[in-house]
Structure 1
Amino acid sequence: MLNTVEPSSNGFKRLLTLRLNTTIGPVIFVTVYAPTLYATPDTKDEFYEKLAITISHIRRKEQLVLLSARFGVGKVNDNGQRLLELCTYHNFCMANYFFGTKPQHKVSWRHPRSKHWHRLDLILVRRATNKHVHHPRSYHSADCDTDHSFVCYKIKHQPKRYHRDKKQGHP
């Protein structure tokens, strides 16, 4: 499996890229940690510029999965609006919304004072590759040393097999 992983090279602390070579081609995972709502507009602009550059370096033939945090969806604030614009421009869809999971498995963060649950951690994929995503949900019982719940999904890919030369036997 280690042969299928290529390390990140974007050099930006809010974005981490992982490339897996699978049987149907490369799959690029981009883990995104967006600035909070209270960050300065300059910080947000810099983040979205770096994200756009990262996305533009990924070919259309390659499958792209954005694993995001702190975007926010629901009542649309500035971060939610930026997320919707990003999805529209790059033809992404929010995989978390396409499956009929229980409401408590769709939310990933609880406000500390109001105790209301929100969807902040999302799985974004290109619309054409949404068929490979199955059963996205959050696990509230996972101990991840954060106030967010663990969000995961099942993916329908197999690692690419590398053939090795067989060792020559002694006569």
Structure 2
Amino acid sequence: MNVHASTEDKIDDIKDRFYEELEHVFDKFQKYPMKILLGDFNAKVGKEDIFKPTIGNESLHEISNDNGVSVVNFATSKNLTVKSTMFPHCNIHKFTWTSPDGKIHNQIDHILIERRQHSSILDVRSFRAADCDTDHYLVVAKVRERLAVSKQTTHKVHMEKFNLKKLNEVEGKEQYCVEISNRFAALENLDTEVDVNKTWETIRENIKLSTKESLGYYAPKNHKPGFDEGCSKLSDQRKQAKLQWLQDQSELNGDNLNNIRHEVSRHFRNKKREYLKDKIDELATNSKNKNIRDLYRGINDFNNGYQPSSNLVKDENGDLLADSHNILNRWRNYFSQLMNVHRVSDVRQTEIDTADLVIPDPREIGWDGMDWIDLAQDRDQRRALVNTVMNLRVP
């Protein structure tokens, strides 16, 4: 769980509501998996003996503030430990926040874990050289989890997709037709008594090879839109300026770092605006050309944002499967149960009762159609009688 707590100067009601919501979300977690809380707690955790063993002896601060006491109380109630206060490091590797003037350093970002699994975290420290363009430093924890996995050779599942958009072009369509015709010309003389499964495998491989040769695959999607070579160079300049400021925190280096930060932020902001404008123009073009599939795909990308892909599936018991071999077996069993229809031999024979005719049989009345229609006083009855007479055949 990622946490961003209120600052020290907030009123107590806001802090209490935050920890109530935190407790409500934390209680929804499952019992056995590892639970880790990390983020900006805005809390100074000290070295008081009354708070041990929830805290350690390696905190940057000697005395806890109000937010620190709240964090310790929450950790104690949920049987957690504050692991960020338990590893010996230099003070510069304990800083997680620095004031804008560079004179005040605090350790307010923490990592909490359940006491029964506290040995899974091997180390916690901050890295000042990591360029995140923020007043917080990057906090890194080394985590070791013991998992019971089957010793099977894992095979990477290729999720490559053919570039079917080329079929909309005349050249791509002709090239695909030529490829598929040449490959299937050799299949016309196949023996009809060959196994159906082998024949289908041959047809499928020929289709895939023809599509690969003529259409190719989709290019991998770039998850950093608008990030070009110029952005990379400016990012490197900002990183070098920050390293120079960390080595010599003079006023000149600080002003240089601030100027480069403003320039990089301005450049990134302009690049993002250009990217959004290009995407909007692309959506407008798809709407004008009635490319409905590409139009809705682009709209969904805007609405959903970045969605990380996952190849995990669940088995019959609801447990996650990560091994590719087990995943393929799961899909095979699922579709075999879904597509195979088993005949039911035991079918109950039910007796069907027919209702009595409300309208008398015209053959009993005679073939005088007008007298028969006069029997119907209602319009619906007349329409039904006329239809019946028109459908009758005179022997």
Q: TM-score, normalised on structure 1?
A: 0.72
Q: How far, CA to CA, are the matches of 1:154 and 1:66 in structure 2?
A: 14
Quick check: which one's helix share is greater?
A: 2
Following TM superposition, by how much is the alpha carbon of 1:110 offset from its aligned partner in structure 2, in angstroms? 1.9
| Cα offsets for 1:103-151 (capped at 9, x unmatched) | 2212211234571321100011111111111221101111212211010
Residue 124 (1) aligns with residue 287 (2): no
Q: How far, CA to CA, are the matches of 2:5 and 2:113 in structure 1?
A: 17
Match 1:72 to one of 19, 29, 44: 44
Kept in 1, the 8 Å contact 2:126–2:140? The answer is yes
Kept in 2, the 8 Å contact 1:68–1:124? The answer is no
| Cα offsets for 1:1-44 (capped at 9, x unmatched) | xxxxxxxxxxxxxxxxxxxxxxxxxxxxx000000111222221
Kept in 1, the 8 Å contact 2:100–2:135? The answer is no
* Structure 1, unaligned runs of 5 or more: 1-29, 167-171
Amino acid at match of 1:142: A
Change beyond 3 A, Cα 1:127–1:34: same
Q: Who is 1:39 aligned against?
A: 10
Match 2:93 to one of 94, 105, 115: 105
| Cα offsets for 1:65-111 (capped at 9, x unmatched) | 00021122233221111111111111111111222233221221123
Change beyond 3 A, Cα 1:164–1:114: closer
Match 2:328 to one of 141, 165, 168: 165
Aligned residues with identical type, % of pairs = 29
Match 2:137 to one of 111, 135, 149: 149
Amino acid at match of 2:81: C
Q: How far, CA to CA, are the matches of 1:130 and 1:107 in structure 2?
A: 22
- Structure 2 SS opposite 1:165: helix
Residue 54 (1) aligns with residue 217 (2): no
- Structure 1 SS opposite 2:81: strand
Quick check: which one's strand share is greater?
A: 1
Residue 83 (1) aligns with residue 71 (2): yes
* Structure 2, unaligned runs of 5 or more: 46-60, 150-320, 330-395
Task: Report the structure number with the largest CA radius of gyration.
Answer: 2
Amino acid at match of 2:104: H
Kept in 1, the 8 Å contact 2:99–2:135? The answer is no
Residue 139 (1) aligns with residue 139 (2): no
Q: How far, CA to CA, are the matches of 2:139 and 2:103 in structure 1?
A: 19
Q: Who is 2:283 aligned against?
A: none
Amino acid at match of 1:144: C
- Structure 1 SS opposite 2:123: strand
Q: Who is 2:173 aligned against?
A: none
Kept in 2, the 8 Å contact 1:133–1:156? The answer is yes
- Structure 1 SS opposite 2:35: strand
- Structure 2 SS opposite 1:45: helix
Q: How far, CA to CA, are the matches of 2:90 and 2:102 in structure 1?
A: 21
After the TM superposition, which parts of structure 1 deviate over 4 Å for at least 4 consecutive aligned residues? Answer: none
Kept in 2, the 8 Å contact 1:96–1:122? The answer is yes
Change beyond 3 A, Cα 1:98–1:77: closer
Q: Who is 1:4 aligned against?
A: none
Q: How far, CA to CA, are the matches of 1:113 and 1:86 in structure 2?
A: 32
Q: TM-score, normalised on structure 2?
A: 0.33
Judge which range, 151-160 or 31-40, deviates more.
151-160
Judge which range, 94-103 or 79-88, deviates more.
94-103
Change beyond 3 A, Cα 1:60–1:140: same
